[in-house]
Amino acid sequence: MLRSSRPAPGDRQEPEERTRVRGLRRAIHEAMARSTRTAAHFTYVEEVDCENLVAARARLKPIAASSGVRLTYLPFIAKATLLALRYFPKMNASMDDEAGELVIKKYYHLGVAAATPPGLVVPVIRFADQLTLLDLAAAIQDLGERARTNSLRPEELRGSTFTVSSLGKLGGVLATPIINHPEVAIMGVHKLEQRAVVHQGEIVARHRMNLSLSFDHRVIDGAQGSRFLQTLKGMLEEPTAILL
């Protein structure tokens, strides 16, 4: 009679590693849980044709480099977002749940979510609407570099009125970002890549990118959220509107 050589279930080792959740990671846990408990999340997605955006960046990239600034697509997206927010003031707001009041902000402090070794942080560009495209690029570059080296000041991590979340090349096809409480909306930026699409009756390769807007459905209805993202889409598809 053959006997199994496998150890009995009670004899097997079941290795585990436990790490106490503290510091920044703990703060992220609490903030995400609070957001999902309070806001009624709804996500709307648009696909953006980026052929003109790619060309505009290629033209302006050497000019930015001469000033020591690395020009990515994110400053264009940030600038277009700030312009669109002026047409949709409820998007640039926070919800005071205790008072039961919607607080519409008359200033624009843009949060730009950044992945760092300890976890996700949201550096804030204050009065971002007053900055040029090049200024925004410089601010995003500076905050991103200091976020990765954990050298941001506490005041640079609070007070945002609207947040943009981008993972760059890791952005994937689609995600549903969680609102940065107590804000009422957040926009996810996904991978910009060439895709096979039907354009003017022919199948061609064109640069495309998805944007996903999560908003608090208690404050913003679906029609308003979709119009905001469509306005932003139009600016990115014709970026001269951003520059003007």
Question: To 5 degrees, how large is the angle CA 6–CA 10–CA 11?
Answer: 55
Q: Give the torsion sign (CA, 189, 107, 121, 114).
A: positive
Q: What is the pTM of this model?
A: 0.88
Would residue 217 show up in a list of annotated catalytic residues for this protein?
yes
> Looking at the chain, which runs of residues are DSSP E strands?
41-49, 93-96, 101-104, 110-116, 119-121, 124-125, 162-166, 185-189, 193-199, 202-216
Q: For residue 75, what pLDDT is reported?
A: 97
Using one digit for the tens of pLDDT, what is the confidence trace for 119-146?
788 999 999 999 999 999 999 999 999 9
Question: Which residue in the list 29, 41, 109, 217 is annotated as catalytic?
Answer: 217
CA atoms within 13 A on the CB side of 148: 6
DSSP conformation class of 172: -
Distance CA 186, CA 242 (A): 20
Mean pLDDT, 10 residues at a time, the chain of 244 residues: 58 82 76 85 95 97 96 96 97 93 97 83 96 96 92 92 85 86 95 92 95 95 96 95 79
Distance CA 89, CA 197 (A): 34
Q: For residue 7, what pLDDT is reported?
A: 60
Q: For residue 11, what pLDDT is reported?
A: 67
Tokens of 3: 């006997």
DSSP string, 181-229: TTBSEEEEE---EEEEEEETTEEEEEEEEEEEEEEETTTS-HHHHHHHH
Residue of 212, 214, 28, 26 whose CA lies nearest to 120? 28
Q: For residue 1, what pLDDT is reported?
A: 52
Domains of the chain: 41-243 (3.30.559.10)
Question: To 5 degrees, how large is the angle CA 191–CA 88–CA 185?
Answer: 50
Q: For residue 244, what pLDDT is reported?
A: 74
Q: For residue 39, what pLDDT is reported?
A: 87
